[in-house]
Structure 1
Amino acid sequence: MFPRPDFYAGALLNFAENLLFPGNAEVNESDVAVITATEDDSALTETTWAELREQVRRCTSAMKAAGVKENSIVAGFVANHVTALVAILSSAALGAIWTGISPDSGVSAVLDRLVQIRPQVLLADNATLYNGKQWSCTEKTVDIVKTLKQHGLELAVIVKGLDGVDMGLETVQSTGVKTVDFDSWLRDAPDEPLVFKQLPPSHPLYVLYSSGTTGLPKAIVHTAAGTLLQHKKEHFLHCSLSPASRMFYYTTTSWMMHHWSVSALATGASLVLYSGSPFRPHSHMSVPRLLSSLKVTHFGTSAAYLTTLEANNVRPIDDPSLDLSALEAIYSTASPLPPSTFAFVYSAFPSRINLGSITGGTDIISLFGAPCPLLPVRQGEIQCAGLGMAIGVVDSASPPDRPTLVSPADSPGDLVCMEPFPSQPLTFFGEGGEAKYRAAYFERFPGLWHHGDFVRVDPATGGLVMLGRSDGVLKPAGVRFGSAEIYNVLTRFFAAEVEDAVCVGRRRETDRDETVCLFLVMNQGREFGEELRVRIKDVIRRELSPRHVPGVIDEAKGGIPKTGNGKK
C-alpha cells in the first residue's frame, strides 16, 4: 500500500468531463443540474446542464488566459454555490489543482493551509449570509492576499456571493495583486471551445487538509481517477443515484463531503448547493422545507444536526405542509450517530428511507463504511464496508510488526485497510510529503492503512460500530472503550438538559491509572449541579458498566472546541 500503486497506468481521462458529460447516464441539457440556495428563500437560483457547461467553458477560458495550466494551484475562499462548482470544474478541465476553504474560516486558518501550497489564483466571495446576517469577506480577503502575494499569488477574483454588498475590488487591489470581479473576468475571456485536458489517472485533482491538531494542517493530495471512480462506485452502487435523483449535502467547501457530493453529477443527478445556517429562516424546519420544496431524494448532514432535531423533537413528517415523498435516503457522518437517533429519524421522516450512517474521511475523500439500500438498517451500525475496501479490525495492543485481527471477531480494535484502493492520497503536498504520508497512515502497522478509528464489527450483520478515535480511546483500569458509548447515553437520557459534551482520558505522570473526564455544555435555562452529576453516573453505570463511569463530570462553560466540520 505504500508506496501508493499507480492505478490504471497508461489510461487517460479528465475529471470535469466525466461530471459535465456523464458517460453512463443520459441528461437533457435543458434539465436543471444545480440549484443554489441560501437562508434567503427568494435568492434560490437554478442552473441547467447547458448553462453549467457554458459557464465552465467561459471560466476555463478565463483561467487559461490568466496563465492557469496543468498543475497550477487554484484556491477558493468561497461558500457552497454554483460559482464555486464552476471554478472546480474549470480547474479540473485544465489539469489544475483545486483547493477550497470556507469563508467562515479565520485568516490564520486559511493561511496555515494556503501558504503551504502557494496558489496562483484565489477566488473569494465578497460576502456571505449566515444566521440571518450579512458578513463581508473583504477584510479577511485583503489579509489573505497580502500574505499570499509573497508566495506567488498572481490574481484575485472576487465573486458576488451577496448582492447589495460592496465587492471590495479597490480594497483588495490595493495589496498590489491584480484583482477582478468574476463576472467581468468571464465576460472578457477569449471565446474558445471547451477542451478537456486528458491526463493520467494519478494526476492531482484536489488538495484537502487534515484538522491540524498536531501542528500545521497536512495538505493531502487526491487524484482524479481515484476520486472519480470511488465516488461513482459509492453514488451508483451504495446510494442508487440516477438522473432522476437530487442530492443535497449540507456542507461547507472545506469539508470532503462537498467534493463527494458534487461528484454526484457523474451519475446524471442534480445538486442542491446550500450556504447558510441549517436553522434559518424557519428555525428547525428550515432544511425540511427545502427537502420538500426542492424534491430532494438524497439528503446528507452531520450526526450533530440529526441529534439536534431529536433533542428538540422536530418531526417533519407531522407537518401537513411538507411533501417528503421524494426522499429516499438520509446520510449522516462527521461523528457516530447515536442508536436513539436512528429510531428518532425513522419516526420523524418517511420510514421507507435508507438511513445511512457513513464513515471515511478527508484522508481517503470517500468511505470505508457505506450505506446500502439492499441491506437492513440496524440501530447504531454502519451498514457495510464500501465495495472493494478490504477493511479489518486489528487488536490495538498488537506490536507494529505483528498486527493481529481481533478475536473474538466482535471485539473492539483499530480500523485498518489491508489492500490498496484507488482513492489513497497521491502524497502530502510540499517538502517531505512522502515521509509525512507514510508516518500518518503506515507507521503504526507497516503494510496496513491505519485509519485512526476505534471500531467494532458485528460478525452476524457485518455492520460497523464506531466507538471513537483510536487516539481518544479511554482505558480506565485497563478497560478500553470509546467516547461514543458515553455520548450515546447522554443523547438518549439527557438530551433535554445537556446540549453537548466531550469525554476524554486524563493520566498525569503521578497517576497510577487513567481517569475518564466528562465535560458538559448545558442547554439554555438548565443548570449543572451535583444532582445531575449523580444521575449521569447512575445511568452510565446501569446502561454500560461501572468501569464506564467518569471519575470527573463537570461543566464546560466555555463550550466544546470543535473543528470546522463539527468534530470534537
Structure 2
Amino acid sequence: SPFYPNGNILFDYADAEGMTLFGTSAKYIDALAKAELKPRETHDLSSVRAMTSTGSPLAPESFDYVYRDIKEDIHLASISGGTDILGCFVLASPVLLVKRGVIQTRALGVAVDVFDDDGKPVRNEKGELVCTKPFPSMPVGFWNDPDGSRYHSAYFDRFDNIWCHGDYVELDDEGGMVIYGRSDATLNPGGVRIGTAEIYRQVEKLPEIQESIVIGQDWDNDVRVILFVVLRDNYVLDTALIDKIKKQIRANCTPRHVPAKVLAVADIPRTKSGKITELAVRDVVH
C-alpha cells in the first residue's frame, strides 16, 4: 500500500532514487489531499519533472492540490487510454498549457474524435470517445472469439466501422478533453445524460466522505440516482449529512444530479486493476 506506514513512502522513493517521472493515479492524488499531506514541505523532489495520472478522471481540485502542496514547477499530466489499446487516446504534451481538469491533447497516430448520438463529430459538447481510423496498437480480435462477435460487440456496435471506446467525454476547440465517466455507467434521469465523474467530484470534496459510487436504478418508468458512500472514520451518515451531500450536488451540478437515495457502505467493488465498477453495483441492485 502506498499509505503504509504513511502516505510519504512514494515521495521517499522519489528523493532517494532521483525520480524524474512520478506515475500515479487520480485516486492516489485525491487520497493524499484528503490526508492533508504536503510533500513539498517534507521532501526535496527537485528531480521530479512530471507527474502522470490515470485510472479515472483527475478532478480540477486535484490539479490545485498538486501545484499547491506537491510541487509548483511540475508537469501534471492526466492521461487516458486502456490496456486493450496498449496506450493512450488522450495524453499530455510538454509544449502545451496545463488546464485544471482537462487532459491536454489527443495522442499522435490515432484519429480520436467525439461523436454525438447520431454519429456526428461535436466540439464543446458531451459525447462518445471514438477513433475513426485503424491505429497501430489496435487489437485485431479476442481470444476464444472465433466469429469475432464479442470483439465487434465491444467496440463496433455503436457506430458502423468506428471504434467506440466507451468513455463519455467532451473535446474543446483547443483539443483538450474532459472525461465524465464510462458511457455504460452514465446516468439518465428524466432522459438527461449525466456522467458519474460530475457527481464524484462534488461528493468527494466533503471531508466526511472517503469515496463514493453512483448508479442509475430503473424506477417508476424513469431512472433514479442512487449514491453509495464510504465514510471517513468517526462519521455517521445521518439526515444532516445526507442533506449536506444533496445540497453540495444541487449547488454545483443540477437538480437532476441529486440522488434519490444516499446509502452508507463499508467498501466499494473494484476491478482487478483497482478501478471502481459501477456496473457490478447496478447489476446487484437490479
Q: TM-score, normalised by structure 1?
A: 0.48
Quick check: 1:564 aligned with 2:275? no
Aligned AA (2:250)? R
Q: Distance in 2 between matches of 1:539 and 1:447?
A: 42
1:516 aligned partner:
225
Residues 413-562 of structure 1 correspond to what in structure 2 (within 5 A)? 413-432=127-146, 434-459=148-173, 461-492=174-205, 494=206, 496-508=207-219, 511-557=220-266, 559-562=267-270
Cα contact 1:369–1:382 (8 A) shared by 2: yes
Distance 1:297 1:370, change over 3 A: same
Task: Give the Cα separation in 2 of the matches to 1:501 and 1:350.
Answer: 28
Q: Is the 8 A contact 2:204 2:212 kept in 1?
A: no
Q: Where in structure 1 are there 5+ consecutive unaligned residues?
A: 1-276
The structure 2 residue matched to 1:405, chosen from 121, 124, 130, is 121
Number of the residue aligned with 1:314: 37
CA–CA separation in structure 1 for the residues paired with 2:147 and 2:64:
44
CA deviation vs aligned residue, 1:319-338 (integer Å, no higher than 9, x gap): 1xx22111011111111111
Aligned length: 276
Spell out, residue by residue over 1:493-542, the C-alpha distance to the aligned partner (whole angstroms, 9 max, x if none).
Answer: x0x2111100110114xx22110111101011111111011011111111
Separation of aligned partners in 1, 2:17 and 2:90: 28
Query: What does residue 279 of structure 1 align with?
Result: 3
2:144, 2:214 → 1: CA distance? 35
CA distance in 1, matches of 2:196, 2:145: 36
Q: Which has the larger radius of gyration?
A: 1
| Closer/same/farther in 2, CA of residues 433 and 345 from structure 1, 3 Å limit | farther
Shift of 1:314: 0.7
Q: CA RMSD in A?
A: 1.3
* Superposition map of 1:22-421 within 5 A: 277-281=1-5, 283-319=6-42, 322-395=43-116, 397-398=117-118, 403-406=119-122, 409-421=123-135
Question: Post-superposition, which runs of at least 4 consecutive aligned residues in structure 1 deviate over 3 A?
Answer: none
Change (3 A) 1:433 1:317: farther
Secondary structure, counterpart of 1:534 in structure 2: helix
Offset of residue 430 of structure 1: 2.5
Contact 2:30–2:62 at 8 Å: present in 1 too? Answer: yes
Quote how far apart the aligned CAs of 1:564 are.
Answer: 2.1
Letter in 1 for 2:20: T
For the residues of structure 2 that align with 1:525 and 1:294, how far apart are their CA atoms?
38
The amino acid of 1:426's aligned partner reads: V
Question: What is the percentage of aligned positions where both structures have the same residue?
Answer: 40
Measure how far apart 1:487 and its partner are.
Answer: 0.7
Counterpart Cα distance in 1 of 2:23 and 2:203: 23
Task: Give the match's secondary structure for 2:76.
Answer: strand
SS of equivalent to 1:382: coil
AA of the residue aligned to 1:563: T
Q: 1:551 to 1:419 in 2, by over 3 A?
A: same
TM-score by length of 2: 0.93
The superposition leaves residues 41-81 of structure 1 with CA deviations (integer Å, 9 ceiling, x where unpaired) of xxxxxxxxxxxxxxxxxxxxxxxxxxxxxxxxxxxxxxxxx
CA displacement at 1:446 relative to structure 2: 1.6
Ranked by relative contact order (alpha carbons within 8 Å, sequence separation 6 or more), the top structure is 1
Query: What are the Cα deviations for residues 252-278 of structure 1, in whole angstroms up to 9, with x where unaligned?
Result: xxxxxxxxxxxxxxxxxxxxxxxxx21
Q: Is contact 1:340-1:491 (8 Å) kept?
A: no
Give the CA deviation at 1:478. Answer: 1.4
CA distance in 2, matches of 1:293, 1:487: 35
Secondary structure class of the residue paired with 2:97: coil
Distance 1:544 1:431 in 2: 42
Q: Provide the C-alpha distance between the structure 2 equivalents of 1:431 and 1:389, rounded to a whole number of angstroms.
A: 25
- Give distance in 2, aligned partners of 1:547 and 1:315: 36
* Cα displacement (A) at 1:491: 2.6
Q: 1:433: how far off?
A: 6.2
Deviations 1:264-305 (A, max 9, x none): xxxxxxxxxxxxx21224x11111111111110001111111
Where does residue 111 of structure 1 map in the other structure? none
Check conservation: 1:454, 1:466, Cα contact below 8 A: yes
Q: Whole-Å Cα distance in 2 between the matches of residues 532 and 478 of structure 1?
A: 28
3-state SS of paired residue (2:204)? helix
